[in-house]
């Protein structure tokens, strides 16, 4: 059974700081890994999608890496801004066993960027 863990559970940083969010997963048989953000009372917004054959993806100030063999991904946010405050979720799509195609989420990292 795939399990996804995110560290830290919460993070508070001053504006302008670079930061790293971590995600680990137990089963390396995945199709892809996706990072989302969720604002309070809202749905999820897709940030980055990394296919299992890729090592990283970049979008603006965001960079996500994937090391499938070790079951790890990181989301790097450069020059953080108060508008980045949200819950960040990573999710992996399983490629093996009876869970193929299923997306499993971590519990999220609550990020607060203060001015």
- Residue 70's region, left for phi above 0, alpha for psi from -120 to 50, else beta, is alpha
The count of C-alpha atoms lying within 13 angstroms of the C-alpha of 54, restricted to the half-sphere facing its C-beta, is 15
Q: Is 60 helix (H, G, I), strand (E, B) or coil?
A: coil
- Binders of other proteins in range 50-79 (CB under 8 A): 51
Interface with other proteins (CB under 8 A), residue from 18, 70, 107, 112: 107
Choose which of 11, 13, 19, 44 interacts with other proteins (CB under 8 A).
Answer: 44
Distance (Å, whole) CA 4 – CA 6: 7
**Which one among 21, 23, 108, 111 touches other proteins, defined by CB under 8 A?**
108
Q: Which residues bind other proteins (CB under 8 A)?
A: 31-32, 34, 36, 42-46, 49, 51, 89, 91, 93, 95, 98-108
């Amino acid at each position: 059974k795939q399990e996804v863990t995110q560290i830290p559970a919460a993070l508070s940083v001053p504006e302008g700081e670079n930061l790293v969010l971590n995600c680990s997963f137990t089963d390396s048989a995945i199709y892809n890994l996706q990072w989302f953000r969720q604002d309070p009372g809202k749905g999820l917004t897709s940030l980055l999608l990394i296919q299992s054959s890729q090592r990283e993806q970049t979008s603006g100030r965001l960079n996500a890496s994937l090391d499938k063999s070790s079951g790890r991904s990181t989301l790097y946010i450069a020059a953080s801004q108060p508008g980045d405050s949200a819950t960040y979720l990573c999710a992996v799509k399983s490629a093996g066993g009876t869970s193929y195609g299923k997306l499993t989420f971590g519990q999220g990292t609550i990020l607060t960027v203060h001015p």
